[in-house]
Structure 1
């Protein structure tokens, strides 16, 4: 039993109004783009959470009290119903006992009319369908009321039962065929998904191989650049040291100071005859050696560039072959996927036609969409 005549609680009504006001404020905050973008007041939210939790606890206590009262009233109702049912049963039992003792059927005046064995004691009106006692005006034989009617009805019922069984078998067979068709469709979808994952995995592996080859090529180029820079720096250092040593110990600087230098240790120009032919030949010989070394370095770099170019061409051809294979596989997969999508689109169109024309004939009105986004919950 529910308590429908409770007095209006002023505090509860005030709490309801306060919650409605907070709901309106919350809606204004939520649908305010500027307020939602800039931020919210954390302290106010914490206070609202505490207050909501307090109100939730009060509501829970009130609901628990109502639940206990409802359970108590239901228990009382069950006891009253059981007692009423017991009284009805006792009254019915007493009434049946009285009728069995003092109101037997054979004590009634019209018992000869209500005797169930009365007709058994009489002579049957007709013995069979060809009874000689029955004349044209006897009115005892009608269409469908012959003595074989029960047997004919039994045969008709058996035939109807067989028809029902056949319909059940056909329906079961049809349901199983539909189940097998759906199962085959699910397996086909799983196969397509696995093939798509396989093609994607192959494509990722090819991309990784190309990236690895590119990274290795870049590392080799960087290593070669470092090696060349180190060799060039070493060669420049050796050349500089050799130049310093040649300059320090050359005949030009170790000439006889008595003949070439004056009192201020300045070279006497008119006595300087220049470098000797041996010195010039030695310089020319060193220049030729340097020219041959530079030519040899250029030849080595040219051979390395040719070798590296052939390696890059081989990698590029291999990458082109792999990309062509991937494109062919993708083309076949896209062709197959396009056919499958056409079939699925056809099935989807048929289903949409069925839903739009047969199952869902009425379109939703504007009032249906206006019921959304009306609260903050």
Structure 2
């Protein structure tokens, strides 16, 4: 940032110098064209009567009042003009020095202003960074606080659910173990002893002996059912054993049948081989012993030699 500001100041200084040079050149040209010494009212005095108008009237007719220059008048004019030129140069130098001093002061003032602006920018940046850090810290603290509140609320909801579940479980257990559900004989006997009618919503008129008989009957039925179940299992086991035995016998029978078929195939093969050998031997006997005198072509050509 400091380098960028320095470059900007240099560019501004160069542009201002160019503008000043252009203004000086334009002012000098204006002086040279529009403010010449020959065009002034006293050009006849400053320029050696070069700009004075000519008088065609003789001096004798005009008189002494018309005279402009007298002999012996203004003897130190050259020295005075030199002093005036030196004073003019000193004034110009003083003006130039004052102008340069004023430019330097302006430049120094601008540099100070830019430094002050830069310092203000830095202070504003630090302040903004501090505000951002404060906001960030506030957001982080708020996030932590919200997270803590969320965790606390979640724990509170969990505890509420657990308490509700415990209460519901306790209510269910109390309902299941109450006299209304168990139909206890004690509650009915107690009410009967107190002279009150038995509560039909808590007891249905069965005594402990009756309940015991029902339980014994149920146990007997369970024993009978288990006996029938065991008998069924034995019957299934015997049937499965018989099926396994029959399957084994069927496999053995199939094995014997396959062995018989194999032996039959071997026997047929041997018989066919024996027949083949006998046929081959008979053919060789015919070829070598019986059909030894084979007829020639002459034997066949003697038949059907004449027409009928």
Q: Provide TM-score, normalisation by structure 1.
A: 0.27
Q: Provide TM-score, normalisation by structure 2.
A: 0.32
Larger radius of gyration: 2
